[in-house]
Structure formats: C-alpha cells, structure tokens
Structure 1
Amino acid sequence: MGAGMRRIMVRGVALGALTLVAVANRPAEAQEAAAPACAAPVAPPGELAPWTAPSRLRAAGNEADASRARLPVDQAARLTLLPTPEVRYPLRPEKPGGSVSYGGIVEIDVREAGTYRLALDSAAWIDLVRGEQTVKSTSHGHGPPCTGIRKMVDFPLTPGSYTLQIAANGQPEMTVLVVRLR
C-alpha cells in the first residue's frame, strides 16, 4: 500500500471518529425519537375501556380502614391519597417515597383466577399484598399512547382479597384501574 493510500485511510478513520464524537455530544433528545404529540385524549381499547369513567374513591391510611376503600375490578377510580407520613402500610413498600409524596391503601376483591392488570396515570410505586406477602408481578409496561395511562403492571391472582399499597406518588390524586385480562 502506498503512502497516498495510507493518508486517505488515516483521514477516513479520523473523519469517522470526529463524526462519532459529534453524534455522542448531541443532546439526548435529539438522538431519541420524539414521543407522539397528543392532540386529544384517546379512549383505551378493550378491557382498559373503563379508564375513561373513573369514580371517586378516598384511599385508606391504614389496614383497618382499607375495607372502606374498595376498588372494584373493571372500574376505574380517581383516588384521593394521603401524605406519606400519614399512611401505615401493612408491609413496608419497597419504595416508600419521601415526606412530600402521597400514598394510600385500597382493597381489591378477586373472584376469578387469572392475570390482572393494574393501570395507573402516574409513576407511583405499587405493591399488591395478600396476607403478609407481596405478590410478584409478571409484567410491566406503559399504557397505550394518548390514553393517560402511564404505567401498567400485571399480577397472577387467585380468588380472595388483596391490599393495593400505593406509595411515592408526586400528587395527592391519581387514577387507577384493575382489570382481568381476557
């Protein structure tokens, strides 16, 4: 290989390296695809359809009062939460949130075994408790675009009563929906 060819190769490698540095130094938002802009809210499909008509529900601050805060399956609720220091969870949440966050407890009665999806409009931390143990989730995801559903978590459930612990929410209200996947 001649000296001229080596200079061309060195220049090509140098140009490629400069290009990589320039791309790496661009702002992250320029590198990622932009989230779709929502002109108007969209009704979620299928079993998530009840999301659009939430009832009002006040979350409980302790397990003894949780029976008065029941979240029916297939019914969305706009929950009023409590400041975190006022909530006494049956089990310490994995991510309890700080003194300026909000949380609460609601009861869920499951009549039929299956996979149940909890949909939230926030990034709150949730634990589903039965007895003295948390139920392990099987899937996590985001809701359909433009529906207002930010987070979805799936759980394998059998008939019985469950305690939904909500923690680390940034606002005093949130919407939640529990549905059985068909």
Structure 2
Amino acid sequence: MRGKKMSWGPVLGALAVAIVAVGSSEAQEAAQPACTAPVAPTGELAPWTAPSPLQAAGSEAGISSLPVGRAVRLTLLQTPEVRYPLRPEKPGGSVSHGGLVRIDVREAGTYRVALDSAAWIDVVRDKQALRSTAHGHGPNCTGIRKMVDYSLTPGPYILQISANGQPQMTVLLARVP
C-alpha cells in the first residue's frame, strides 16, 4: 500500500466494541456467586441428581432411548466412530466424543435438554435439525451447564451429541410445564 494512508479509525472502533463485549461477558460470569456447595435443582430438573447409566449409539441401528423426565450418565464414543444421520454444525475433532440417543415424544410440548458440558446438540427428525426455541445456562451450582428447549410433536427424534471433550456426560430430557 505504498503512497496510500490507511485509516485506523474503523479498525480501532471495532476492536473497542469487541473488548467491551468480552468484558461485559466476563462481568456477568463474575457477578454469579461462587459455589460453596452443590445445589439440587427443582421442578422438572429435579431428576438431575440421580442419573442412570446409558450407552450412546454410533449409528441409528441399535440406538437406546433417552427417557423423558430421567437423567442419564451417557457414555459417548470417539467422534470418528459416530455416523451422524445429519452432519452436526460443530462435529468436533478426532479426540472429541459424541453419540446418538433416541427420543420418543408421546405428548406435544416444549422439551428441555440439560447437559453438564458445552457439547453441541441437534434434535433431528426426518434428516432435518429442529430449531431450538430457547437456550441458556442451568441454575447456579447445580452442575447443569447448558439447557436447550425444543417444541416437539409426538413421534421419534434423534438427539445427536457432538464435540464433547469427555467420554461421559450427564443429560436430562424434561418436559417443560
């Protein structure tokens, strides 16, 4: 760029906005009180504290069902071993973990998937990912890191889990009143 003078104004302005956004996110996390002891969740999340073991599948064949209203301690597979019906937006790398579980919905409504990690999830029906209706963090000190809500009608679905850093995770599927 010889002979042309570069204007740094727009670049510095964008950088300042990014710094403020990161700072406010850190301030929000710091505003939450530190956990001195675990807190048992209530309501539809109450089953979180008593998970049952469940093995995730690597394909749609032989897939286990995730029961509504019960938490599971899900054992995942290494990502290269999973054949997702629909490529996840964030599939994870060769050292991450994932898997598939079936969801059988009997009653239409809003269903919440609660996780103890930041894994990527997709609820899939007919090779299409459903759009979530809400997402956020779990109640403070409960161990629930992420919650994602979906509006579901009766029928079968597949919950795809990808990009998890550990080979196990706790998952709860709850109908939201």
TM bracket (short chain): 0.7 to 0.9
How many residue pairs were aligned? Answer: 156
The runs of 5 or more residues in structure 1 that have no matched partner are: 1-23
- Name the SS of the counterpart of 1:65 in structure 2: coil
Which letter maps to 1:181? V
Q: Is the aligned partner of 1:117 residue 2:117?
A: no
Which letter maps to 2:93? G
Q: Which of 155, 159, 168 pairs up with 1:160? A: 155
- Name the SS of the counterpart of 2:44 in structure 1: helix
Aligned to 1:128: 123
Q: Is the aligned partner of 1:98 residue 2:93?
A: yes
**Larger proportion of helix:** 1
Aligned to 1:85: 80
Can you list the C-alpha shifts for 1:69-102, whole angstroms capped at 9, x where unaligned?
1110000000000000000001101110001100
Which letter maps to 2:48? W
Aligned to 1:37: 34
Cα root mean square deviation, aligned: 1.9
Q: Is the aligned partner of 1:62 residue 2:51?
A: no
Aligned to 2:46: 49
Whole-Å Cα distance in 1 between the matches of residues 127 and 100 of structure 2?
15
The runs of 5 or more residues in structure 2 that have no matched partner are: 1-18
Q: Scaled by the length of structure 2, what TM-score is found?
A: 0.83
- Name the SS of the counterpart of 1:154 in structure 2: strand
Pairwise CA distance, 1:65 = 2.1
Whole-Å Cα distance in 1 between the matches of residues 34 and 118 of structure 2?
20
Larger radius of gyration: 1
